[in-house]
Amino acid sequence: MSGGGLLVAGTTSDAGKSVVTAGICRWLVRQGVKVAPFKAQNMSLNSFVTREGAEIGRAQAMQAQACRVEPTALMNPVLLKPGGERSSQVVLMGRPVGEMSARGYHGGRQERLLGTVLDCLERLRGTYDAVICEGAGSPAEINLRRTDIVNMGIARNAGLPVLVVGDIDRGGVFASFFGTVALLSPEDQALVAGFLVNKFRGDVSLLEPGLDMLHGLTGRRTYGVLPFRHGLGIDEEDGLRVSLRGTVRESQVAAPVGEDVLRVAVCAVPLMSNFTDVDALAAEPGVVVRFVDRPEELADADLVVVPGTRGTVRALEWLRERGLADALRRRAAEGRPVLGICGGFQVLGEHIEDDVESRRGQVEGLGVLPVRVRFAREKTLTRPSGEALGEPVEGYEIHHGVAEVLGGEAFLDGCRVGQTWGTHWHGSLESDAFRRAFLREVARAAGRRFVPAPDTSFAALREEQLDRLGDLIEQHADTDALWRLIESGAPTGLPFISPGAPA
C-alpha cells in the first residue's frame, strides 16, 4: 500500500515552497511519521552529492535532513543546471545526460520523463508513511501545463492533494491565490485543497476577514498563516539574490571571541554555484560575509573567496572585465588570503582547456596557483574525506574540470601557495575543527586578532534551523487538517472557479 502524500505548490517562485516542505517534513518526523521529500524537477545551481554519487538539488538534501533520512536520487530525479539564459545541463537520476535548450526540453523531452518521475515517487511512497512533494514556480504557468511533470502534472498522475503557498510579504496574496486556482482546469482544481500564507507580519486577526472572503470565493480554506522569521532560507535554490538573504547571513553577526572581526568578501561570479559553501564561515561569531563585484570591495577583506560556478571561463572573463582579476593577483603576491573553490580554484590556475562547458579551447587563467585544468566530458561526483591543517575534513565534488597540480603545498585535492588556497571540495568548511584551523591561518596572515569560537557546531546550527521550521508548522498551521490531507487526499466537492485553464 502506498504512503500518503502532499504537493506543496506556490503562487510564485520563492514563495517559500522549499522551507514549508522542510517544515512539514520536520513536524511529521517529530510525530513519529516516516517521511521523505520529493521534487520531480528542480532548476538550481546549488546541488549536492549523495552517498551513492548522485547529484541532486541541495534543497532536497536539506529536506532529507529535515526528515532525518539519507538523501537519494529518488528524491530529485530531474535536476536542471543553467549554463546561460537559454540552456541547461540535464541531470537525470543523479547523472548528467546532456545540454538542452529550454525549447528542446519543454518541446518533448520533459514529457518523456514523466514515467521516470512517477516511478521514483511511487517507490518512495512504497517505503515511507508520507512523501511531501515540492512544486516549482507556479502551477498556473499555462504555457507549460501540457508538458508539466512537477506541479499539477505530477499531482494529477499521482492523485496528490495540493497546498498552495503564497508570500504575503510581496503583497497581492489574495489575488495570487484566487488567480492560481482560476487558471487551472476543473480536473486540476479538484486537487487544490487550500492555501498557506507565508511571511505574515502583524496581527493575524486583521487578516482573517480576507481569509474568510477567500474561502467564500473559492470554497477552499487556509491551512495556516506562518509569521515572518529572519534567517530561514536554508539551502534555497538559486542566485545571489537568494544567497544574500540566506541561512545564517541574514542573522546578526555574533560578537567575536577575540578582539577583531574577520571580513570575508565573496566574488559574485556569474552562474555562481553552491554559494552555501560560505554559510559555515558566516556561522562563526565575528565573521562578516558579504558578496562583492568591484575590486575596491576587496581592499579591506581579510579573506576573499572565489566560489564555484557553472561557467568557469565566463567567470574568468567577468573577473577580468571587472578588474577583480588584477586585484586577486595583487592579493596573492602580497600574501593576503584567497580561497578558490571548484570553479574558483580552476580560474586561479595557469590555464584551462575547455572543449566541454564553454567550448573555448585553451584559456589563460590568473596564474596564481601551479595548476592546469582540462575539462572532461565525464563529471566527477564524489564524497571525499581526509585531513588538512591537522584536522579531519570531508566534502563533496561536482565538476567537469580535472586539475593537474604541478607544485605548491598539498591542500585537500588542490594546493596552496603562500596564502592562496584552491580545492574542488565543496562543503569542507562545514567540518568544524578544520574550519577553525583555517580561520586561525587566515587571521594570522591578515594580522587580525580574531579567535574562532571553540564550540560552534555547524551541524547543530542546521538542526536548530530545521527545528525552527518544524515549530512554525506546528504552532501556526492546522496540523490535524494537514495530516488529513496527507492521509486521505483533497476534500471532495471542491467548487470549480471560472474561467479555468484556456483551451
CA angle 44, 48, 291 (to 5 degrees): 60
Angle between helices 58-67 and 17-30 (to 10 degrees): 20
Q: Which amino acid is at 129?
A: D
Grid cell listed for 328: 586577486
- Alpha helices, H only, 407-478: 432-446, 458-476
What is the rounded distance in angstroms from the CA atom of residue 257 to the CA atom of residue 26?
A: 33
Picking from 282, 270, 201, the residue whose alpha carbon sits closest to that of residue 244 is 282
Picking from 431, 399, 420, the residue whose alpha carbon sits closest to that of residue 306 is 420
Grid cell listed for 12: 510564485
Which helix (H) or strand (E) covers residue 338, if one does?
strand 338-341
Q: Is 426 an active-site residue?
A: yes
Given 342, 399, 400, 424, the catalytic residue: 342
Picking from 189, 185, 210, the residue whose alpha carbon sits closest to that of residue 495 is 189
Which are the contacts of 402, defined by CB distance < 8 A and separation ≥ 6?
373, 374, 375, 376, 380
Number of C-beta neighbours around residue 1 at 10 A: 4
Grid cell listed for 211: 481569509
Given 399, 400, 424, 426, the catalytic residue: 426
Which helix (H) or strand (E) covers residue 212, if one does?
helix 204-218
What is the rounded distance in angstroms from the CA atom of residue 112 to the CA atom of residue 39?
A: 17
Q: Which residues pair with 309 in a beta bridge?
A: 272
The sign of the torsion formed by the CA atoms of 42, 146, 144, 226 equals negative
- Residue 428, Cβ density class (10 Å: 0-12 exposed, 13-18 middle, ≥19 buried): buried
Q: Is 424 an active-site residue?
A: no
Pairing of strands 385-388, 221-227: unpaired
Which helix (H) or strand (E) covers residue 421, if one does?
strand 420-423
Catalytic residues: 342, 426
